[in-house]
Amino acid sequence: MPHREIRKILFNHASFIWSAADLLRGTYKQHQYGNIILPFTVLARLDGVLAPTKQAVLTAIEGLDPDQAPSAGMLRNRAGHDYSFYNRSRHDLRSLQGDVDNLEENLRDYVNAFSPNVRDIFDQYKFDETIIDLANNDLLLEILQHFAKADLRPEVVSNEVMGHIFEELIRKFAEASNETAGEHFTPREVIDLMVTILLDGDEELSTPGVIRSVYDPTAGTGGMLSAADNKIKAFNHQAQVNLLGQEINPESYAICKADMVVKGQPITNIALGNTLTNPAFEDQTFHYALSNPPFGVAWKKDRPAVEREHEIAGHAGRFGPGLPRVSDGSLLFLMHLISKLREPGLQGGAAGRGAIVLNGSPLFTGGAGSGESNIRKWVLDNDYLEAIIGLPTDMFYNTGISTYIWILNKDKDHARKGKVQLIDATEMFVKMRKSIGSKRKMLSDDNITTIATLYGNFVESEHSKIFNTTDFYYRTITVERPLKLNYAFTPQRIERALAAKPVAKLEGWEQEALDKALGEAEEATHGVVSTNRAQFTKDLKKILADEGLVLKPAVLKAVLTELGEHDDHGELVTKAGKPEADASLRDTENVPWDQDIHDYLKREVHPFVPDAWIDETKTKEGVEIPFTRHFYKYVPPRPLKDIDRDLDEVLGRIRVRLEQVKA
């Protein structure tokens, strides 16, 4: 269906459904609208889906008591071969209006007459309580009449358009209650791009009767699953597509489940719960996996379960490679998604491929040895990352930040093995005539085709760069410089010495004696600087002995260290015959993976500090993907004469206006 026609149907139906808020206004607050209108929308959709087979179901149960009802399988068959649910009630939304006196009871009976897989949807909305509350406020009949007019039959409103309607309603309700709308769903054109690329190169997809499984661990309202289903079946109408997902938000879960049930998917395919702490489908992997996890959301409340899996299961679990900082759990979802992709060589077709939307942070946050860097290194070590696509800003409903699609593959094509493709699509967009929340830009069909072609061609160009996986690796080396000190009894140094931790643990009389001894040494030496550590140590011990104070070696060393300051011409401090490092001069350098660290030291460091060395015990391996840097284009500043000319023109206009004011 053309996008213009979809938008027209979407606007008409969403606007009509949304107008139910006019009936609720005054009795309910804005943040309550969604919990009433959304389940009634689901009810109207299910009512329209079952309308053609309603009489067949009623005929099957005619004359029978509830206990004598036919089997669920037979009822599902009568309701339609394509559906996994049914309704045993003699009512529908229109007939319910004929018995106003028993409306509340009949509507509750009607909802309870759905098969158990659908009743769960309404349970998530606490719909029984909603019906009672609407009846108590004399609004039940008006709301029912309103939704009975909404024609949501599949022949009028396709599954694709219905998904758009649900998302538009959620966005409106979120805006009305000042909540975050975009966390519930992803713009459909972004999903279209992700699915298009995932299906690219699946040579078995055209096989009649081919089976493909699609998984979304952050399913929301099911937009990604629906888009994947539509695209696979458009390519091969004989394909069998299994859609599975998990969602943490009960309302979004209910909508997703309703959509999947209408599509004929098994009831157990959509799970409610936290993917990170209580993952569904633990023993399953999938051909395709898609996800848009929440951007930059902390996982503090999930920390005990996640850390337990990390420590106990290790690489046998999902989080073995490492844990990101607790303020952003994006990389946890990345590791989970990879764990759900089919391994190569399994019976039943191709290895798993995935696409996940992330913000910029997972590309570079965390230095060498950090959890984030270790996760990136694990992804590249295993050659799971196929491509990263940089999207335009202002693409999502709740944020204008830069976002990136990571394309994952458990079994890359030969040409892509050991390679990563970066695609710059940041300037590929069309501006929307009217912004929706933070969304001001969108991908056109041509944009999607261009990006998919860049991916498929897999060649270097202005917007496509190809790298070896090791191009993103580096080593962080610790560069040490020798400790060279001079020594003196000055007020600042004495103050530091008295504040040293080992000194703070001395007895009170010892601290007083030390304070007195150092003060007298200051007066006697007038702060003269010495570069002879041995002589200065000897003088210090004598001063302390005069006060009857003998310090332990560790305390004496601490005092001596605080009385010293760096001096390039000072005496070298050694330990076990080797130079001791000056912690205050310690530095780190990131060395590209293909360079020897010692050659790097000689070339980049020794010309400036020839006595520096590398502490190899502190060397760490790291990975970062500086996406923006690889597409940066230097723009030279304008010539100075042009700037001066423009300034003169501006100043000239100002002078003219000032003269006009004076006149």
What pLDDT, in 10s, does the model give residues 464-486? 999 999 999 999 999 999 999 99
- The string of pLDDT tens digits covering residues 192-217 is 999 999 998 788 888 888 999 999 99
What is the band of 352 on the pLDDT scale with cuts at 50, 70, 90? Answer: very high
Task: Quote the pLDDT of residue 178.
Answer: 54
- The string of pLDDT tens digits covering residues 261-283 is 888 888 889 999 999 999 999 98
Q: Quote helix, strand, coil % in the chain, to nearest 5.
A: 50, 15, 35
Mean of all residue pLDDT scores within the chain:
89
- The string of pLDDT tens digits covering residues 387-431 is 999 999 999 887 889 999 999 999 999 999 999 999 999 999 999
Q: Which of 628, 604, 624, 623 has its CA nearest to residue 614?
A: 604
Looking at the structure, tell me whether residues 62 and 81 fall in a common domain: yes
Looking at the structure, tell me whether residues 172 and 189 fall in a common domain: no
Instruction: Mean pLDDT check: name the lowest of 183-192, 262-271, 286-295, 597-606.
Output: 183-192
Last residue of a domain, one of 176, 206, 228: 176
Task: Quote the pLDDT of residue 181.
Answer: 44
- 233 occurs within a structural domain: yes
What is the band of 169 on the pLDDT scale with cuts at 50, 70, 90? Answer: confident
CA–CA separation, 434 vs 451, rounded Å? Answer: 24
Last residue of a domain, one of 579, 611, 636: 579
- The string of pLDDT tens digits covering residues 72-127 is 666 666 655 566 778 888 888 999 988 889 999 999 999 998 888 888 889 988 99
More confident residue, 83 or 444: 444
- 380 occurs within a structural domain: yes
Looking at the structure, tell me whether residues 130 and 90 fall in a common domain: yes
- 522 occurs within a structural domain: yes
CA–CA separation, 618 vs 410, rounded Å? Answer: 33
Residue 278 belongs to a domain with what CATH number? 3.40.50.150
Are 337 and 356 spatial neighbours (Cβ–Cβ below 8 Å)?
Answer: yes
> What is the amino acid identity at position 428?
M
More confident residue, 62 or 198: 198
Looking at the structure, tell me whether residues 188 and 167 fall in a common domain: no
Looking at the structure, tell me whether residues 150 and 188 fall in a common domain: no
Looking at the structure, tell me whether residues 31 and 168 fall in a common domain: yes
Looking at the structure, tell me whether residues 313 and 347 fall in a common domain: yes
- 536 occurs within a structural domain: yes
- 596 occurs within a structural domain: no
Looking at the structure, tell me whether residues 10 and 146 fall in a common domain: yes
Whether residue 2 is predicted with pLDDT greater than 70 in this model: the reply is no
Tokens of 224: 């990604």
Whether residue 180 is predicted with pLDDT greater than 70 in this model: the reply is no
8-state DSSP, 504: H
What is the band of 448 on the pLDDT scale with cuts at 50, 70, 90? Answer: very high
Domain that holds residue 282: 183-388
Whether residue 171 is predicted with pLDDT greater than 80 in this model: the reply is no
Are 297 and 326 spatial neighbours (Cβ–Cβ below 8 Å)?
Answer: no
Task: Quote the pLDDT of residue 78.
Answer: 61
Question: Max Cα separation, the chain?
Answer: 115
CA–CA separation, 472 vs 141, rounded Å? Answer: 63
- Strand order across the beta sheet in which 484-487 lies: 564-566, 484-487, 571-572
Length of the chain, please? 663
Task: Quote the pLDDT of residue 458.
Answer: 96
For the segment 9-32, the average pLDDT, to the nearest whole number, is: 85
Distance of CA 271 to the CA centre of its chain: 20
For a pLDDT cut of 90, what percent of the chain falls above it?
A: 61
Looking at the structure, tell me whether residues 163 and 194 fall in a common domain: no
Last residue of a domain, one of 533, 551, 579: 579
Task: Quote the pLDDT of residue 221.
Answer: 86
Q: Which of 89, 56, 167 has its CA nearest to residue 396?
A: 167
- 553 occurs within a structural domain: yes
Looking at the structure, tell me whether residues 91 and 226 fall in a common domain: no
What is the band of 61 on the pLDDT scale with cuts at 50, 70, 90? Answer: confident
More confident residue, 621 or 166: 621
What is the band of 627 on the pLDDT scale with cuts at 50, 70, 90? Answer: very high
Whether residue 385 is predicted with pLDDT greater than 90 in this model: the reply is yes
CA atoms lying within 13 Å on the CB side of residue 22: 6
For the segment 25-36, the average pLDDT, to the nearest whole number, is: 88
What is the band of 3 on the pLDDT scale with cuts at 50, 70, 90? Answer: low
Are 385 and 159 spatial neighbours (Cβ–Cβ below 8 Å)?
Answer: no
Q: Which of 191, 159, 188 has its CA nearest to residue 171?
A: 188
Looking at the structure, tell me whether residues 11 and 92 fall in a common domain: yes
- 410 occurs within a structural domain: no
Among left, alpha and beta (phi > 0; psi -120 to 50; other), residue 293 is beta
Q: What is the pTM of this model?
A: 0.84
Are 319 and 309 spatial neighbours (Cβ–Cβ below 8 Å)?
Answer: yes
- Count up the domains in the chain and report the number: 3
Handedness of CA 548, 549, 550, 556 (dihedral sign): negative
Task: Quote the pLDDT of residue 154.
Answer: 87
Whether residue 183 is predicted with pLDDT greater than 60 in this model: the reply is no
- The string of pLDDT tens digits covering residues 541-569 is 999 999 899 999 999 999 998 999 999 88
Task: Quote the pLDDT of residue 290.
Answer: 97
Whether residue 621 is predicted with pLDDT greater than 90 in this model: the reply is yes
More confident residue, 627 or 70: 627
Task: Quote the pLDDT of residue 182.
Answer: 45
Looking at the structure, tell me whether residues 135 and 215 fall in a common domain: no
- 123 occurs within a structural domain: yes
CA–CA separation, 72 vs 85, rounded Å? Answer: 9
Q: Which of 443, 324, 447 has its CA nearest to residue 394?
A: 443
